[in-house]
Structure 1
Amino acid sequence: MLTFFVIFQKTTGRPSPMPSADAPKDIINKLKSIFNVGEGIMVYNTGVASEELEDDEIVCAERRAGKSYCKEVENYIEATRLDKIDPEQFAKFQEYFKNDLEQTQMVATRMDVGDSKTKVIYPEGAESEDSKWLLVVQHEQLKQGVLVEECENVDSASEENSTLPLEDISKCKQNFTYRKLVVLVNGEMKEEMVKLPSNCECSSS
């Protein structure tokens, strides 16, 4: 029997060394650096990963605030590499690289809404119709200026109406529209409908 045991050990390789007495403690310490470890070494995650909502790597302050566009995308230059794109692509979509000047003049003639702000933005990122985030083409000399109207305080009472009775206080709702812009997908320019603020609708409660 002893001879069989020795032969068996030789044919199956060297046995693994026994773990040290401190090994379980080391494992627990490593887990504690990542997770909270409860009684009985039950492991559970204590929060949402910081990049869970930005898994497509389009990160900006506006997106974190729940808006549908990004004014400035972190690492935009490295992500787009617009300097490497064939100039013919820019020429193909030349009609898009302009500001909404005519619409700006039209808005200027409207009655101002105290709870909203109208402005031209140059979004570097925006949310598509199928809720995917896309990089919008904004070259140093070729930009897509889009006119938007945003509520200053969505679903909150207007400051100038704060002295009115509750039933007469206006509340504001942000409306959106889908606008076709030139975006970058896998290094190629293409047209895509993206979600942008259109107007602020205020009404009394």
Structure 2
Amino acid sequence: MTLKLHFLLKMLAFFMLILQTTARPMPNADMMNKLKSIFKVGDGIMVYNTGTSNEALEDDEIVCAERRAGKSYCKEVENYMEATRLDLIDPEQFEKFRAYFTDDMAMPQNIATRMEIDAAEKPSSIKTNVIYPEGVLSEDSSWLLVVQHEQHKQGILVEECETVDSATEENSTLPMENNSKCKQNFNYRKLVVLVNGVMKEEMVKLPSTCECDM
């Protein structure tokens, strides 16, 4: 691999020499900046790729820490307000999807009480809370912007494993064969998303439950 890069570098130097001797214009600044974003030149003649840029990985402009960590949602999308311009959306669109703008925790008291009991029995590696995702992975594996307006929010109850397939904190002192293993489960549900400035319903992937083998 090093020999190939060495050969390519020598060829590049050869062509640059030809350009200079034939009085052809040198590459402009934009071209040179583009090359610098792809290759990095170290000491000597070593040329190596610095890796794939964020532009290639996240060209849909939905960027967040959760996505980079491999999760199916973004709590906060960079430049969310600029990307959605929710302040310009017709109020009738919000009214059309009014049923979606609520929190999952708004539930009958008996169910809420049962959830509190269940939560007390769960390992400390399992966390249950309500999130307001601004970005989410769709059923066809594309990233979408979720409608989260100041007065129209979609609160989603999720249960997540803090550590997948590893010992829980409660069992960390037990022999390895007795340590619990956790598996993250997901489900698909409808949320209101924004596509080309228009609200619509889409099935999206979100964490549902965390199963730990005790």
The TM-score bracket by the shorter chain reads 0.7 to 0.9
Query: Compared with structure 1, are the counterparts of its residues 100 and 23 closer, same or farther at alpha carbon in structure 2 (3 Å cutoff)?
Result: farther
% identical aligned pairs: 69
Q: Deviations over 1:57-76 (max 9, x none)?
A: 10011101111000000000
Q: Tell me what 1:3 maps to.
A: none
Give the aligned residue type for 1:121. I
Confirm whether residue 159 of structure 1 aligns to residue 169 of structure 2.
Answer: yes
Q: Deviations over 1:71-130 (max 9, x none)?
A: 000000000001111111000000000001228714223133322000000000000011
Paired residue for 2:73, among 69, 76, 100?
Answer: 69
CA contact (8 A) 2:132 2:153 kept: yes
Once residues 138 and 36 of structure 1 are traced to their aligned partners in structure 2, the CA distance between those partners, rounded to angstroms, is 40
Confirm whether residue 132 of structure 1 aligns to residue 136 of structure 2.
Answer: no
Q: Tell me what 2:90 maps to.
A: 86
The equivalences for 1:93-172 within 5 A come to: 93-101=97-105, 102=107, 105=112, 106-110=114-118, 111-172=121-182
Once residues 161 and 63 of structure 1 are traced to their aligned partners in structure 2, the CA distance between those partners, rounded to angstroms, is 29
Query: Compared with structure 1, are the counterparts of its residues 191 and 161 closer, same or farther at alpha carbon in structure 2 (3 Å cutoff)?
Result: same
Q: Deviations over 1:147-175 (max 9, x none)?
A: 00010111111122111111111011111
3-state SS of 2:189 partner: strand
For the pair shown, the structure with the greater C-alpha radius of gyration is 1
Q: Which runs of 5+ in 1 are unaligned?
A: 1-17
- TM-score normalised to structure 1 length: 0.79
CA contact (8 A) 2:123 2:168 kept: no
- TM-score normalised to structure 2 length: 0.76
Q: Which runs of 5+ in 2 are unaligned?
A: 1-17
CA contact (8 A) 2:126 2:159 kept: yes
Once residues 23 and 212 of structure 2 are traced to their aligned partners in structure 1, the CA distance between those partners, rounded to angstroms, is 64
Q: Tell me what 2:52 maps to.
A: 48
Over aligned residues, Cα RMSD in angstroms? Answer: 2.8
Once residues 122 and 19 of structure 2 are traced to their aligned partners in structure 1, the CA distance between those partners, rounded to angstroms, is 74
Once residues 155 and 213 of structure 2 are traced to their aligned partners in structure 1, the CA distance between those partners, rounded to angstroms, is 29
3-state SS of 1:51 partner: helix
Q: Deviations over 1:168-188 (max 9, x none)?
A: 110111111111100000000
Once residues 156 and 149 of structure 2 are traced to their aligned partners in structure 1, the CA distance between those partners, rounded to angstroms, is 14
Stretch deviating more after TM superposition (103-112 or 81-90): 103-112
Query: Compared with structure 1, are the counterparts of its residues 19 and 117 closer, same or farther at alpha carbon in structure 2 (3 Å cutoff)?
Result: closer
After the TM superposition, list the runs of 4 or more consecutive aligned residues in structure 1 that deviate by more than 3 angstroms: 18-24, 30-34, 41-46
Confirm whether residue 203 of structure 1 aligns to residue 213 of structure 2.
Answer: yes
Deviation at 1:23, TM superposition (A): 8.2
Q: Tell me what 2:9 maps to.
A: none
- In proportion to residue count, which structure has more helix? 2
Give the aligned residue type for 2:94. F
Give the aligned residue type for 1:203. D
Once residues 35 and 64 of structure 2 are traced to their aligned partners in structure 1, the CA distance between those partners, rounded to angstroms, is 31
